[in-house]
């Protein structure tokens, strides 16, 4: 019978064949020398000394490696977003106002990756000082144009504007002709939505065959009423239009999501207004929103083109994080490395 000897290996008593050196032990254990570090009796045995360092009975050995976690990369391609009869890959919706030049607007739309752009319907400024029209810088065959009723302060104004927008887009052959982003504002100082006029307008437009994407406050009850009225999407404000304050009341947004998606998980809820920077977009997406609509956050940035890139990436990051599920918030620390197998601790 071959001679054996007893050692302590990583805190456990163990018998190994006699007359082994460190190199032989690693081979016996099926370990690759470049993947481990070895101590004998608390003295480091460098890799160059493995073959010349014998192991004696009673030796205390530590063999350590690097540990962590990991898994094959998941399929992270986001599912398409369906809003009424429209389906998109991008979940970022951007506006076309407030840019210094039409060229900058065009480049920012490209950088944002958006497939939907929202435009106001106006009777003035059909052309700029050089005779150029907004549509000269926005290919209506590439983007789905979402006309909005921005600046309307009554149901009558909003309905007229929506009908004019549909007429205009039908002439262009754009697929956005059947839908409208409905805004009916209460006053010019806050630009908050008028809930009564908004609900009234939604009901009328739905009867006329519009797919209504409805701008509203973050009131869960109002959101529910608008969905019941037939709104294709409810779009709660993160904060007042153009304020850059981000999502001020995430709890209400959570309630809206929970309520509107209870019977239809695919019902689209899109945060609209108040976004100031990319982290605001990520927060909205992490809450579980289906998309974010913004304008000033890009157009008003010091570097709009760079911010457009940032907003696109924030939507993607927030959506992935929402699907991944954040860890629970804890009062005390939890080590990320395992506490088992610490060197010299039995």
Q: Which are the catalytic amino acids?
A: 181
DSSP 159-193: HHHHHHHHHHHHHHT-GGGGEEEE--BS-TTT--B
Helix (H, G, I), strand (E, B) or coil at 21: strand
For the chain, the C-alpha Rg in angstroms (whole number) is 31
**326 and 318 Cβ atoms separated by less than 8 Å:** no
- Tally of CB atoms within 10 A around 126: 9
Whole-Å CA distances, 111 to 50, 184, 309 = 56, 30, 5
Phi, psi values for residue 224, rounded to 5°: -65, -45
CA 37, 39, 42, 43 dihedral sign is negative
| Nearest CA among 268, 320, 261, 267 for reference residue 116 | 268
Q: How many residues does the chain have?
A: 346
- The Cα–Cα gap between 293 and 184 comes to 17
**62 and 10 Cβ atoms separated by less than 8 Å:** yes
**Helix, strand, coil % over all residues of the chain, rounded to 5:** 35, 20, 45
- The Cα–Cα gap between 294 and 276 comes to 9
């Amino acid at each position: 019978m071959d001679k054996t000897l007893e050692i302590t290996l990583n805190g456990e008593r163990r018998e190994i064949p006699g007359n082994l050196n460190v190199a032989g032990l690693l081979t016996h254990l099926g370990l690759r020398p470049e993947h481990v570090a070895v101590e004998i009796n608390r003295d480091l045995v460098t890799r160059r000394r493995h073959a010349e360092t014998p192991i004696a009975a009673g030796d205390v050995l530590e063999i350590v490696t690097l540990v962590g976690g990991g898994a094959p990369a998941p399929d992270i391609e986001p599912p398409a977003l369906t809003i009424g009869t429209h389906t998109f890959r991008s979940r970022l919706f951007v506006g076309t106002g407030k840019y210094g030049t039409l060229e900058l607007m065009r480049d920012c739309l490209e950088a944002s990756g958006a497939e939907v752009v929202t435009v106001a319907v106006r009777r003035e400024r059909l052309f700029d000082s050089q005779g150029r029209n907004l549509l000269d810088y926005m290919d209506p065959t590439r983007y789905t144009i979402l006309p909005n009723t921005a600046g309307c302060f009554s149901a009558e104004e909003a309905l007229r504007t929506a009908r004019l927008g549909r007429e205009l887009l039908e002439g262009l052959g754009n697929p956005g002709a059947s839908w409208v982003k409905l805004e009916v504002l209460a006053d010019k100082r806050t630009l908050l939505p008028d809930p009564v006029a908004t609900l009234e307008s939604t009901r009328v437009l739905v009867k006329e065959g519009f797919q209504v994407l409805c701008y509203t406050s973050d009131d869960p009850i109002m959101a529910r009423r608008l969905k019941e009225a037939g709104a294709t999407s409810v779009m709660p404000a993160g904060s007042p239009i153009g304020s850059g304050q981000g999502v001020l009341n995430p709890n209400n947004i959570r309630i809206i999501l929970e309520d509107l998606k209870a019977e239809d998980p695919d019902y689209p809820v899109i945060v609209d207004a108040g976004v100031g920077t990319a982290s605001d977009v990520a927060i909205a997406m992490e809450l579980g929103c289906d998309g974010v609509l913004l304008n000033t956050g890009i157009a008003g940035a010091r570097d709009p083109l760079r911010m457009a890139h940032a907003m696109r990436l924030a939507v993607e990051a927030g959506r992935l994080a929402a699907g991944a599920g954040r860890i629970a918030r804890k009062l005390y620390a939890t080590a990320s490395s395992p506490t088992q197998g610490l060197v010299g601790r039995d």
